[in-house]
C-alpha cells in the first residue's frame, strides 16, 4: 500500500501554490514602482536640471548685449490705509530697469503717469500687506505691472527697491 501512494504521488503533477494578490503587490509591484519612480526622479534632477538652467539663462540674456539700464525715481512718501487713529507712512526709493538705452530718453516723458499709478496704488496698501518678504514681493509685482502699463512706449523690465521704510 505504501508503494501505491508513492507511485500515485510521483505520477501526479506537482502543483505550486500561487501567490496571493497582497503578496504580489507587496513583493513585486510596489518595489518596481518605487525603483521606477526613484530612477525617473533622479534622471530629471540630474540630467534635466542642467539643460533647463542653461535654457533659462539664455532666455534671460539680453539679445542686444548692452548692460542693464536703470532709472532712479525720486523718493516717495505715501500715507498708508489704516483702520486706527494712528497714521502710517511708507517711504520708498525705487529704480526702474529699462529694456533698451532708448527707453531712458522716453521714460521722462511718461514718468508723471508712472508716479501717479504708483501713488494711487500705494494709498490703498495697508501695513499688514507689507509684512515679510512675501509682502514686499507682491508690492514689487504690483508696481511692475503698473509701471509697464503706464510707461508705454518705454519698456520697464523690473522695479528695484532701494529704500523701503514703514513708519
In this structure, are 154 and 75 located in the same domain? Answer: yes
Q: Is the pLDDT of residue 159 over 80?
A: yes
CB neighbour list of residue 89: distance below 8 Å, 6 or more residues apart: 77, 78, 79, 80, 166, 167
Model pTM score: 0.60
* Cα distance between residue 50 and residue 108, in whole Å: 41
* Cα distance between residue 89 and residue 123, in whole Å: 10
In a domain, 1, yes or no: no
In this structure, are 93 and 153 located in the same domain? Answer: yes
Mean pLDDT of 108-119: 93
**Strand (E) or helix (H) holding 114:** helix 103-123
Q: What is the pLDDT of residues 79-106, one digit of tens each?
A: 888 777 788 899 999 999 998 888 889 9
Provide the 3-class DSSP secondary structure of residue 79. Answer: strand
Instruction: Tell me: cis bond preceding 56? Omega within 30 of 0 counts.
Output: no
In this structure, are 137 and 112 located in the same domain? Answer: yes
In this structure, are 78 and 133 located in the same domain? Answer: yes
Q: Any idea what the Cα angle at residue 59 is, between residues 106 and 52, rounded to 5°?
A: 160
Among 163, 110, 109, 121, smallest CA distance to 146 is for: 121
Among 128, 73, 131, smallest CA distance to 98 is for: 73
The total domain count for the chain is 2
In this structure, are 137 and 102 located in the same domain? Answer: yes
Parent domain of 47:
11-60
Amino acid at each position: 500500500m505504501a508503494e501505491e501512494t508513492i507511485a500515485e504521488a510521483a505520477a501526479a503533477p506537482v502543483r505550486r501554490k500561487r501567490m496571493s494578490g497582497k503578496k504580489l503587490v507587496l513583493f513585486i509591484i510596489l518595489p518596481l514602482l518605487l525603483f521606477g519612480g526613484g530612477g525617473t526622479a533622479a534622471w530629471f534632477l540630474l540630467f534635466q536640471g542642467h539643460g533647463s538652467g542653461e535654457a533659462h539663462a539664455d532666455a534671460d540674456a539680453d539679445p542686444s548685449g548692452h548692460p542693464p539700464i536703470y532709472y532712479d525715481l525720486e523718493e516717495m512718501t505715501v500715507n498708508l490705509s489704516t483702520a486706527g487713529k494712528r497714521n502710517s507712512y511708507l517711504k520708498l526709493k525705487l529704480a526702474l530697469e529699462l529694456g533698451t538705452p532708448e527707453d531712458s530718453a522716453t521714460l521722462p516723458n511718461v514718468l508723471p503717469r508712472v508716479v501717479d499709478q504708483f501713488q494711487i496704488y500705494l494709498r490703498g496698501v495697508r501695513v499688514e500687506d507689507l509684512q515679510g518678504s512675501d509682502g514686499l514681493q507682491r508690492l514689487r509685482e504690483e508696481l511692475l505691472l503698473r509701471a509697464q502699463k503706464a510707461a508705454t512706449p518705454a519698456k520697464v523690465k523690473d522695479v528695484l527697491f532701494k529704500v523701503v521704510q514703514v513708519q
